[in-house]
Amino acid sequence: MICPKGDEEVRIPARVETIFASVALAVAAPVGGATTAALAQSASASASTAPGSAQRRAILNALRPSVESEIGPEVEFVVREIRVVRGWAFVMAEPQRRGGGAIDGYRYYPYFDEMGGLTVTALLRYRNGRWNLVERAIGATDVWFCDRGPPGLTPSCTVN
């Protein structure tokens, strides 16, 4: 992703551990290396989340358990878009089985023909030293995420 002029790439520790904090709330906790204060500072700045970066892994690991609870285990994401702005993250991604295997939407959704595929859209927030899932949808046919979070987080939904 290309960041607006003045934004910088922010990195957080490479190792993360995924845990459940509460029902449908997934988090990724840092393991060693950096202090919580350093992580909070990293998450509060706008950031590019390049493939393979620790921040990208932490965000996707926080999202994964919620998605797996709905469409089964061993999910990995093909990221279409990921944005981080002032401690918030927006994700739009296509889930697949580890190694690239397709997921049969009809197996999980009897109304799959009426869905927007299996595209996952999600909002997360960095709080208490970890990424926390705020809301997510699978196969949404609307743009529920419009203008949520800080300016620049979600794609513009303005109609001309």
**144-156 pLDDT per residue, tens:** 999 899 999 998 7
DSSP letter at 52 equals T
Helices (H) and strands (E) in the chain, counts: 3, 6
Do the beta carbons of residue 116 and residue 139 sit within 8 Å?
Answer: yes
Residue 3: closest CA among 150, 159, 106, 152: 152
Q: Compute CA 116 distance to the chain's CA centroid, rounded to the nearest angstrom.
A: 18
Confidence (pTM): 0.70
Do the beta carbons of residue 61 and residue 16 sit within 8 Å?
Answer: yes
Can you tell me the distance from the alpha carbon of 114 to that of 100, in angstroms, rounded to the nearest whole number? 24
41 Cβ partners below 8 Å, 6+ apart? Answer: none
- List pLDDT tens digits, range 29-74: 333 333 333 443 344 434 468 898 999 999 999 999 999 999 999 9
Q: Tell me: pLDDT of 113 over 50.
A: yes
DSSP alpha helices (H): ranges in the chain?
36-44, 54-71, 105-108
Helix (H) or strand (E) segment spanning residue 10? none
Average pLDDT of the chain is 76
> Looking at residues 133-140, what average pLDDT do you find?
97
Q: Tell me: pLDDT of 124 over 90.
A: yes
